[in-house]
Structures are given as structure tokens and as C-alpha cells.
Amino acid sequence: MKSYEEMLEEALKKLPDVFISSDRYAIPEIEVKYEKNKTYVLNIKEILFKIKRKEEDFKGDFSRIVGIPARFENDILVLNGLVNKEILRKKLEEYIKNFVICDVCNKPETIIIEENKIRYLKCEACGNKKILRY
Ligand SMILES: [Zn+2]
């Protein structure tokens, strides 16, 4: 007999991740390749298209979240170090939570704007504007 806790744990494990489950936030599985101590995210373009972020907007913030310098090479994101795929996925979720999803209405209809050298995440759904640190 399984305990209630065990059953609960099993049920929770079966629940898909929130970003994967909801169509709205559905981001593709990250495709990575490792070569010479570098991590290549092959389908970053597809991911950026989904989260509506430009390479330039994404690169710096994501690099800081991962803690590794990043650059684009022919539409492929190159991280200057080896990063486990699962960790990358978590970092991407962290990026989306902080730089895409609105804190107030939880919608991803946001844009990044700059006013007087301060960057903001502006929500086009509810109008909320949050200062982006970094
Ligand atoms: Zn909002």
C-alpha cells in the first residue's frame, strides 16, 4: 500500500510544468549541443519568437541569469561554458518569469522599453510598468 504522501508525490510528478502545459506559455524543448567547452542552444530563434524577444534584448539578461557570457552566432545562442540542459531550461523559465510575464496580470503580452536609460517591462494587457534591474 502506498501512503497518501507517496500518491500525492506521484500525482504532482505527473503534472506538467506550467510553462510547458499552458499553450500560452508553451516554449519548445531546448535543443543543445556541446562542443569545446561551449553550449550551443540550437533552437533559440524559435524560443525567442515564442516569447517575443529580440536577440539583443535577450542576450544580456539571459547571460546574467545563467552567469556565463553569451553571444549569438548565426541565430544560435553560444554560451561560453558547459551548462546542463535541465539547468538551462530552469534559467529560461526564470528569464520568462522576470522578463516576459507581467507581475500584475500574469500575461506574457509585454515589451521591454527604455526611458531615460532605465529599462522597463511594460505590459500591453494591463499597462503595468516594472523597472528591470541589472
Ligand atoms: Zn499585465
Residues 124 and 95 in one domain: no
Residues 90 and 63 in one domain: yes
Distance 12 CA to ligand 1 centre (A): 28
Residues 81 and 111 in one domain: no
Angle among Cα 80, 85, 90 to the nearest 5 degrees reads 100
The mean per-residue pLDDT over the stretch 95-124 comes to: 95
Distance 117 CA to ligand 1 centre (A): 22
User: Which pLDDT does position 10 carry in this prediction?
Assistant: 76
What is the pLDDT confidence band of residue 25, given thresholds at 50, 70 and 90?
A: low
User: Which pLDDT does position 14 carry in this prediction?
Assistant: 63
User: Which pLDDT does position 21 carry in this prediction?
Assistant: 41
Residues 34 and 79 in one domain: yes
Q: In what order do the strands lie in the sheet containing 129-131? A: 110-115, 118-123, 129-131
Residues 132 and 73 in one domain: no
The mean per-residue pLDDT over the stretch 81-90 comes to: 95
Q: What is the pLDDT of residues 41-61, one digit of tens each?
A: 999 999 999 999 999 999 999
What is the pLDDT confidence band of residue 24, given thresholds at 50, 70 and 90?
A: low
Distance 112 CA to ligand 1 centre (A): 13
Higher pLDDT, 24 or 52: 52
Full residue range of the structural domain in which residue 51 is found:
4-100
Q: Is the pLDDT of residue 18 over 50?
A: no
CB environment 99-132: b (16+ within 10 A), e (fewer): bbbbeeeebbebebeeeeeebbbbbeeeebebee
Which residues surround the ion ligand 1 when the cut-off is CB under 5 Å?
Answer: 102, 104-105, 123, 125-126, 128
